[in-house]
Amino acid sequence: MAPLPEPAAPPLLINTIVPEMVTPDGVRVLATALPVGRTGWTIQVDMPVSKIEEPIRSLLIGAVLTAQWHGPAVTAARAEVIGDRVRTIAAILALLTVAWIGIDAVAFEKTVWLLFALGRVAAAIAFAAIALGRSDQRSLGASLRGLAILFAVPFLFFVYSTVLFLLFPATEPPMLLLTAYLHLPFIVMAGLALFPLTADEGLAVGCVLLVLFGGAIAVLDGVVRLHPHVGMISSTVPHGGEGLGIVWLLFLMTAVAVIAGMSQLHFLVAFPEQSARDPLPGLFARRFGEEALELEFRAAERNGAPLAVLFVDLDLFKGVNDRFGHEAGDHVIQAATRRLAATLRRQDVAIRWGGEEFLVVMPNTGVAGATVAIARLAGAGLGTRPDGAAQTASIGLAERIRDGASDRHRLVELADERMYMAKAAGRNRTVGPDGVARPFVPNRAARSPAA
């Protein structure tokens, strides 16, 4: 049996499912990953956060510049945030658009008011359709399409209202209202800052809006210069250099909005790190670990690849807490997880499932490979208990293809059942799909701990 390659670096154990990213060359990393050489990534488990701030910041720069650095978890989280905000803002705009019809009724004569009301009703219907849309909340493409439509509606209304202003003269134009209409491009540009977009996405959306609104203002400026007294809008339209200044101001607002969106994305990537980790061993917390397992299971199904899961339970751990106190128990868990970290591969994911129970997810690993990993862990040991005895564990092994597991829940259930079979066989055992209990830590290294 060919052994698994020794890990070139400690595995990614200090993790969070939200900051997961993928480098352009296909290497999966997380927000707390540190570069090693030119191609590798590692984690400094015991290094204070203050000492890894700069490497982490360097990695996060890539995440805010382009979506190529985002793994499926970050993409899903960002899609959900963008989609929720698109729907919320669309609902608010639908209500405000309808409410503004009353203001138009006071400001304009009946014919103009009816035409504005028609445009506003159409815009409100479009906003309502966006707000009530039920697209896949975890689809980034659907969320970005909703965002594009959200910005397209006010632009089309801006063009529509501008045409009405040009066509209908007014002896006493409502200056404040006209100015409010002409400032619609600035409001739209400012709205870009509400969404966690990467730099390239923000610039793409911002440049399109800038070209559209800038072009509309340029056309409006040209019409007014050729016909200085056309319509009710001529007195409020910036002329010549003023129009150029308006476009420049729109450009500056676009730049600020893009930076604001990148800042939001940075927090979206970095902030959940603390809640994703179990603070004691530094592994995935269960909630985030379950999502990581789901992602790995789906990937294994798509690729027809094996996926092994180890359910690890520290033997007689309750006796440590009862006899020596919970602080001593914490030290035992920390020592065990450090040994676990030293033996797993970079692509493996370790999760604190609860108490003294841990789940290890091993992508692209069959039963034979997982057995080798268990042997490596047995050789390293799981540390010692306060009384000097070796800390042992009972381990259940399940594998997606071998066990025919239909989903991640069944895979974990099988590993859990086999872990209890290992305990029933006398503890310090491993049980795999064949149902045979085998010794875990060699007898010479494991003196039976007192219960």
Name the residue ranges covered by the structural domains of the chain: 72-270, 277-439
Structural element, H or E, at residue 36: strand 34-36
Residues 191, 369: Cα–Cα separation, whole Å: 52
Cα–Cα nearest to 72, from 19, 2, 8, 118: 19
- Bridge-based pairing state of the strands 393-399 and 429-431: parallel
Task: Please enumerate in sequence order all residues whose Cβ is within 8 A of that of 263, keeping only pairs 6 or more positions apart, or say none.
Answer: none
Number of other residues whose CB lies within 10 A of the CB of residue 378: 22
pLDDT for the residue numbered 40: 33
Q: How far is CA 17 from the centre of its chain?
A: 7
pLDDT for the residue numbered 119: 93
3-class SS of residue 228? coil
Q: How far is CA 81 from the centre of its chain?
A: 9
Structural element, H or E, at residue 430: strand 429-431
pLDDT for the residue numbered 290: 83
pLDDT for the residue numbered 73: 62
Cα–Cα nearest to 164, from 127, 119, 122: 119
pLDDT for the residue numbered 172: 53
188 residue type, one letter? V
- Up-side HSE of residue 9: CA atoms within 13 Å toward CB? 17
Residue for token pair 């909630």: 287
Structure tokens at 235: 């007195």
Do the Cβ atoms of 265 and 198 come closer than 8 Å? yes
Angle at 20 between CA 14 and CA 24, to 5 degrees: 125
The CATH homologous superfamily for domain 277-439 is: Reverse transcriptase/Diguanylate cyclase domain (3.30.70.270)
Structure tokens at 173: 């134009």
From first to last of the 451 residues of the chain, give the pLDDT tens digit. 344 333 333 333 333 333 344 444 444 444 333 333 323 333 333 333 333 333 444 445 667 788 776 666 677 778 888 999 999 999 999 999 999 898 888 877 888 889 989 999 999 999 999 999 876 666 888 888 999 999 999 999 988 888 887 777 654 556 666 667 777 888 888 888 899 888 888 888 888 888 888 777 777 666 666 555 555 555 455 554 555 677 788 888 888 888 888 888 877 776 555 555 555 555 777 877 887 888 889 889 989 999 999 999 999 998 898 888 988 988 899 889 888 878 888 788 888 888 889 999 999 999 999 999 999 999 888 988 898 888 999 999 999 999 999 999 999 999 999 999 999 999 999 999 999 999 997 654 444 444 4
Residues 53, 71: Cα–Cα separation, whole Å: 21
Residues 410, 433: Cα–Cα separation, whole Å: 13
DSSP symbols for 356-367: TEEEEEEET--H
